Amino acid sequence: MFEVDAPLSLATEFERIVRDGQLQAHYQLIADLFHGSIHGYESLIRGPRNSPLHLPASLFGTARRLGRLVELELACAKAGLHGFVQSGAQGKLLLNLSINTVLACWYQWGADLPRQLLDDSGLPSDRLVIELTEQDAADDVHGLLQARFCLREHGIGLALDDYGAGSTNLQLWVRLQPDLVKIDRHFFYGISSSASGQQLIRALMSVAQALGTPLLAEGIETAADLATVRELGMRYVQGWHLGLVEPQPQVELPEPVLALLRLDRSRRVQAESGTVGTLLIEAMAVQPEHHTNDDIDKMFQDFPDLHSVAVLDREHRPIGLINRHTFSEKYAMRYTRDLFGRDPCATFMSHRPVMLDVGTPIDRLAPVLASEDQRYLRDGFIMTREGRYAGLGTGESLVRAVTELRLETARYANPLTALPGNIPIKRQMQQLMAGSECFIACYGDLNHFKSFNDMYGYWRGDAVIQLCAEVIKRYCDIQQDFIGHVGGDDFVMLMRSGDWQARLEDMVAQFNQRAIDLYDEHDRGLGGIELQDRYGVTRFFPFVTLGVAALVVQPQRCQGVEPQAVAAAVAELKRRVKSERASLLVDDYAALANAK
Nearest residue to 494 (alpha-carbon basis) of 419, 561, 557:
419
Cα dist from 329 to 285, 286, 305, 323, 324, whole Å: 21, 20, 17, 10, 9
Give, in order, the Cα–Cα distances in Å from 397 to each of 60, 96, 307, 431.
62, 51, 13, 21
Answer positive or negative: Cα dihedral of 457, 460, 464, 470: positive
The confidence score (pLDDT) of residue 408 equals: 65
CA distances from 473 to 153, 409, 412, 448 (A): 58, 16, 18, 22
Top-confidence residue, 323 or 412: 323
Burial class from Cβ neighbours inside 10 Å (0-12, 13-18, 19+) for residue 463 reads: middle
Q: For residue 237, is pLDDT > 60? A: yes
Terminal CA-CA length for the chain: 51
Q: Is the pLDDT confidence value at 483 over 80?
A: yes
CA distance 316 to 536: 74
Strands, DSSP E only, in 128-271? Answer: 128-133, 157-163, 180-183, 215-217, 236-237
Q: Looking at per-residue confidence, does 475 or 405 come out higher?
A: 475
Burial of 326 (C-beta count, 10 Å sphere; 0-12/13-18/19+): middle
Residues in the chain: 596
What pLDDT, in 10s, does the model give residues 493-552?
Answer: 999 888 999 999 999 999 999 999 999 999 999 999 998 877 778 899 999 999 999 999
Whether residue 249 contacts residue 276, with contact meaning beta carbons closer than 8 Å, is answered with no
Question: Which segments of 305-429 are extended strands (E)?
Answer: 308-312, 318-323, 355-357, 381-385, 388-393
The pLDDT-based confidence of 442 (bands split at 50, 70, 90) is: very high
pLDDT of 10-20, one tens digit each?
A: 889 998 998 88
Residue in 20, 35, 18 with CA at minimum distance from that of residue 386: 35
* Model confidence at 269: pLDDT above 80: no
pTM: 0.51
Whether the predicted pLDDT of 568 surpasses 80: yes
Q: Per-residue pLDDT for 419 more than 70? A: yes
* Dihedral sign for Cα atoms in the order 72, 77, 78, 84: positive
Q: How many helices (H) and strands (E) does the chain have?
A: 23, 21
Distance, CA of 59 to CA of 62 (rounded, Å)? 5
Task: Inform me whether the pLDDT recorded for 372 exceeds 90.
Answer: no
How far apart are alpha carbons 316 and 380 in whole angstroms? Answer: 19
DSSP assigned state of 190: T
Q: Is the pLDDT of residue 481 over 80?
A: yes
Residue 50 pLDDT level (bands cut at 50, 70, 90): confident
Name the residue among 221, 280, 277, 229 with its Cα closest to residue 254: 221
Cα(85)–Cα(199) distance, integer angstroms: 40
Q: What is the pLDDT of residues 220-229, one digit of tens each?
A: 988 888 888 8
pLDDT of residue 505: 95
Amino acid present at 438 = C
CB 46 within 8 A of CB 28: no
Q: Residues 290-294: what's their mean pLDDT? A: 91
Tell me if 592 sits within 8 A of 569, measured CB to CB: yes
Say whether pLDDT at 260 is over 90: no
Average pLDDT over residues 186-190: 91
Q: Which long-range contacts (CB under 8 A, 24 or more apart) does 33-36 make?
A: 33/230, 33/234, 33/235, 33/236, 33/237, 33/257, 33/260, 33/261, 34/235, 34/386, 34/388, 36/253, 36/257, 36/261
| pLDDT (0 to 100) of residue 587 | 93
Q: What is the mean pLDDT of residues 266-281?
A: 64
Q: What is the mean pLDDT of residues 3-30?
A: 82
Answer whether 214's CB lies under 8 Å from 237's CB: no
Q: How many CA atoms lie within 13 A of 97 on its CB side?
A: 29
Looking from the CA of 92 toward its CB, the CA atoms found within 13 Å total 23
Contact between 591 and 557 (Cβ < 8 Å): no
* Distance between CA atoms of residues 422 and 443, nearest Å: 13
* Cα distance between residue 585 and residue 592, in whole Å: 13
